[in-house]
């Protein structure tokens, strides 16, 4: 299912949802002192399949 080309362009929806995600993250950072758990250190940097 994930390898079948659909011809759909979801970029606009993705960008809208990404803006919401960024806004929520900013609100959380403004309200709380966030500290990553040390066990997630190796997960901080990642790349997509197409680099």
Q: Tens of pLDDT along 1-51?
A: 567 777 788 899 999 999 999 999 999 999 999 888 899 888 877 777 786
pLDDT at 41: 85
Helix (H) or strand (E) holding 22: helix 11-31
pTM for this prediction: 0.56
Phi, psi (degrees; rounded to nearest 5) at 41: -60, -40
Per the listing, tokens 């197409």 go with 50
CB within 8 Å of 44: residues ≥ 6 apart = 36
The pLDDT, as a whole number, for residue 2 is 64
pLDDT value at residue 6: 72
């Amino acid at each position: 299912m994930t390898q079948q080309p659909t011809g759909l362009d979801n970029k606009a929806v993705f960008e809208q949802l990404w803006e919401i995600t960024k806004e929520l993250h900013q609100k959380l950072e403004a309200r709380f002192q966030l500290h990553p758990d040390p066990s997630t250190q190796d997960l901080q940097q990642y790349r997509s399949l197409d680099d």
